[in-house]
Structure 1
Amino acid sequence: MSDLGRVLRLDARRTALLIAVPVLTLLGTAAAGLSLSTSVAYWDNTVVALVNAVRFLGPAAAGLAAWTAVRERPLDYLRGLTARSPATGVLFDLLLLSSAVLVSYAAVTVLVVGVTVVQGQAGHPHPLGVVAGAGALVLHVVAGYLTGRVVPHRTTAALVLAVTSLWAALRVPGVSWWSLLPPAAFPRIELFTTLRPAVFTDQVLWAAGLTTALILGYVLWVTRRLLIVLPLTAAIAAAVSATLGLHGSGAGTVAPVPAEQVCRRWPLTVCVHPALRAALPPLMAAATPLAARLNGTPGAFTKVEQRPAWAAVAVVNGVAAVHLDEDLSPGYAARAVRQISDGLKDPDACTNPNGYQALVDAWLLGDDPPSPPGTRAARRFAAWTEHRRRAWLRLHFAEYRSCTLGPDDFRPPAKAQARPAGSAVGSAARRVQ
């Protein structure tokens, strides 16, 4: 018992474990920060940030495990003093190293989740995604350590680090099913979509099956116990099944999901995805002047609603549909309002808008007026009051929608009196006076 206690104390007092936790925590936090947006708190992207961080944490953990295996190999003679199986020390090493790596991963998870919660999160968490990342880390530890045991050379740790880094670098997000094999690489998840849980299930099964197969294979090699062949075969079968499942997933890693939008209701009703609630005040401020200028026209709207990226932007039945930048990059509100302006026009007729169209667009959007052909029309339009411009737009909205505005549309109202007095166009022109 004294010899056994000595071995356990030597196993537990390893400097590698003391070094691993802070180093891997810092590395994992930095890696997760590269994928995590600080402006949008969407649970799907939080999980993606954690899973993507494993691509950096995994090779580091594998290299550390291989270095530990090579460094501690001279202590094997102490383990030989006990009656334990020759595989017991290896399993205990794997338990300690895996625990250290998982502690680091848990610390990174707490930090990333904390950032998401503080920002006012949206969507639903995916605990299975966190488990998939943890399983991939343990797989790296097992593969690295067993490689160090089988090939106890000074360069083994560097070789393991290089190979696992190359394996991780082969992942290109959203390109092939190959990128779904742990350590997986996911693209940024768009709003109004969510990750498919089946993908995480297959990843957990793949990592668990391969990890178990590696451990059982090493134990079989050391102990020569043929009874281990049966569970080894089952573990390999599980890994193969998970591989087929990930292959079948392909690019279908996400699915559309409805979202109960958050709204502000005065002076317009503006609704956005709950992850972008910070966009409500700027979007309201940018859309209100355009709504006022379009009041009384067929393009009038009283509601602005964010739509998924695959939905069309248009103004229908008083509702203006827009897309928003998911990272809320500077100018996102102005770009959304421009989408409303573009949605007012006939896309078939407005393939090549003229300068008169740009003149009206600049007024609607509050931009500086351009210099269109026919500067006299521009001077006239610039001299009109806001009230007169709105009345003019109600009269010429059909021409604006079809991008057929010309210099005649900007003539003084007195010119329009030559039209039949009883016509609606003539009466509207007199009202502009």
Structure 2
Amino acid sequence: MSDLGRVLRLDARRTALLVAVPVLTVVGTAAAAMSLCPVAYWDNTVVALLNAVRFLGPVAAALAAWTAVRERPLDYLRDLTARSPATGVLFDLLLLSAAALVSYAAVTVVVVAATLAQSEAGHPHPLGVVAGAGSLVLHVVVGYLTGRLVPHRATAALVLTVAAVWAAARVPGVSWWSLLPPAAFDHIALFTTLRPEILVDQLTWAAGLTTALILGYVMWATRRLLIVLPLVVALGATGAATLGLHRSDGTVTPVSAEPVCRDWPLTVCVHPALRDALPRLIAAATPLAARLNGTPGAFTTVEQRPAWAPLTVADGVATVHLDETLAPGYAARAVRQISETLKDARTCTDPPNRYRELVDAWLLGDDPPSVPDARTARRFASWSEARRRSWLRVHFADYRDCTLGPVNFQPFEHPRLYDAEADTGRLAQ
């Protein structure tokens, strides 16, 4: 009984491994923070957790290997009991995996809280969180079993080095190998989402290989050949998941998103993750819309489009691309996209038309560029806002085709002279 008590006390002492939880939590939180984006998009939250495993996994594997090496000389105490020789190993793996998962859960809580504190958009992917947990447990099992098989002081350092190299070799988008746990994902662009099949294959791969390693060790320790069947099943699942990752056609797929809009003085609609951009975008686009009012390029609605979608100005709707990080100047860049969209690509070629640039500067509220024809530049600068708008209505075709010349800026009188102050439209200035 005294020997059994010593074994039980030895097993209970394994709870000291929980001191590793703060270490793993700090490492995982720091790694996740590096992958978090300023825009709260749930897909990128999951990516941050999955990328954190690339740092958290090697540390957890090294701690597991160190534990295995440290406790290996005490195995003779377990031999004094009637328990299976694999029981102690399985108990150690349970404690180590629990410690790693507790730290992973703490990192998940921090990252989710950071997302909820912002204007989050998209939908959470619990499967992605589980896939990251499976990859972390795989690191623990590999590290511990390596320490059992190679009980040397340098084993923990070797495990850390090899696991870190394996994680660093994950380069997003280069090869399907990068999808093997710990997988590396690129930033998930708005209007796209993670493909669930990828997450399922990664979870299956990690779970299958973890199970196979544990069953293989148990079979080696107990000499029970009945374990061969579940071992083969686990290896088969791993192989099937490997083929699934190899045949995968990208990690993301397009997804529609219900936009958020503001309706005055323009109707501006953006991806829900970028709702904070609405005030500045409205303020930047309203002057341009007012100046284009009454021309074929007029618009009363601005809509954000995915980065791969073409930009157009048609039927009163102007489409733009937005910086997902909302970097300084994003609203001005979006308005400039509308101006560029008004060009006819067939006729607007290099070198640029300097007279069109003069008009663009007015439309965008920029300082006028240097124009060789100083007389024309002075004449255009002397016109009132109302006269410029009336002039643009008459000469819009030349503006669009980049064929403006000095003759277009000659003094003129037109019966449809536009009076901005008398306009009762919604874009009145």
Q: State if a TM-score over 0.5 links the two structures.
A: yes
Q: CA deviation at 1:320?
A: 0.4
In the alignment, is the contact (CA less than 8 A) between 1:58 and 1:136 conserved in 2? yes
1:169-224 CA-to-partner distances (Å, cap 9, x unmatched) read: 11111222111100000111111111111111111110000001101111111111
Counterparts of residues 201-216 of structure 1 (less than 5 Å): 201-216=200-215
After TM superposition, the score normalised by the length of structure 1 is 0.94
* Residue in 1 that maps onto 2:29: 29
- Inter-CA distance 345–5: structure 2 relative to 1 (3 Å threshold): farther
Q: Are 1:8 and 2:8 counterparts?
A: yes
* Residue in 2 that maps onto 1:340: 338
* Residue in 2 that maps onto 1:40: 39
Moved over 6 A (4+): 429-432
**Matched residues in 2 for 1:159 and 1:302: separation?**
64
- Inter-CA distance 242–171: structure 2 relative to 1 (3 Å threshold): same
Counterparts of residues 47-86 of structure 1 (less than 5 Å): 47-86=46-85
In the alignment, is the contact (CA less than 8 A) between 2:14 and 2:95 conserved in 1? no
Tell me the secondary structure at the aligned position of residue 119 of structure 1: coil
**Matched residues in 2 for 1:16 and 1:137: separation?**
20
**Matched residues in 2 for 1:267 and 1:276: separation?**
19
Match of 1:314 among 312, 315, 319: 312
**Matched residues in 2 for 1:343 and 1:9: separation?**
75
1:366-404 CA-to-partner distances (Å, cap 9, x unmatched) read: 111100120111111111111111111111100000000
Tell me the secondary structure at the aligned position of residue 319 of structure 2: strand
Out of 350-359 and 327-336, give the one that drifted further.
Answer: 350-359
% same residue: 77
- Inter-CA distance 12–356: structure 2 relative to 1 (3 Å threshold): farther
* Consecutive unaligned residues in structure 1, runs of 5 or more: 415-425
Out of 164-173 and 135-144, give the one that drifted further.
Answer: 164-173
Q: Which amino acid aligns with 2:263?
A: R
Q: CA deviation at 1:120?
A: 2.5
- Inter-CA distance 337–4: structure 2 relative to 1 (3 Å threshold): farther
**Matched residues in 1 for 2:106 and 2:417: separation?**
70
**Matched residues in 2 for 1:197 and 1:167: separation?**
24
**Matched residues in 1 for 2:84 and 2:125: separation?**
40
- Inter-CA distance 330–16: structure 2 relative to 1 (3 Å threshold): farther
1:83-111 CA-to-partner distances (Å, cap 9, x unmatched) read: 11111000000000000000000000011
- Inter-CA distance 169–365: structure 2 relative to 1 (3 Å threshold): same
In the alignment, is the contact (CA less than 8 A) between 2:386 and 2:417 conserved in 1? no
**Matched residues in 1 for 2:270 and 2:259: separation?**
5
After TM superposition, the score normalised by the length of structure 2 is 0.95
**Matched residues in 2 for 1:412 and 1:404: separation?**
18
* Residue in 1 that maps onto 2:180: 181
Counterparts of residues 236-385 of structure 1 (less than 5 Å): 236-250=235-249, 252-352=250-350, 353-385=352-384
- Inter-CA distance 48–77: structure 2 relative to 1 (3 Å threshold): same
Q: Which amino acid aligns with 2:197?
A: A
Q: CA deviation at 1:16?
A: 5.7
Tell me the number of residue pairs that the alignment of Structure 1 and Structure 2 aligns. 419
**What's the C-alpha RMSD, in Å, of the aligned pairs?**
1.6
Tell me the secondary structure at the aligned position of residue 166 of structure 2: helix
- Inter-CA distance 16–157: structure 2 relative to 1 (3 Å threshold): farther
**Matched residues in 1 for 2:7 and 2:47: separation?**
40
Q: Which amino acid aligns with 1:19?
A: V
**Matched residues in 2 for 1:310 and 1:343: separation?**
15
Counterparts of residues 54-203 of structure 1 (less than 5 Å): 54-203=53-202
Tell me the secondary structure at the aligned position of residue 265 of structure 2: coil
* Consecutive unaligned residues in structure 2, runs of 5 or more: 421-429
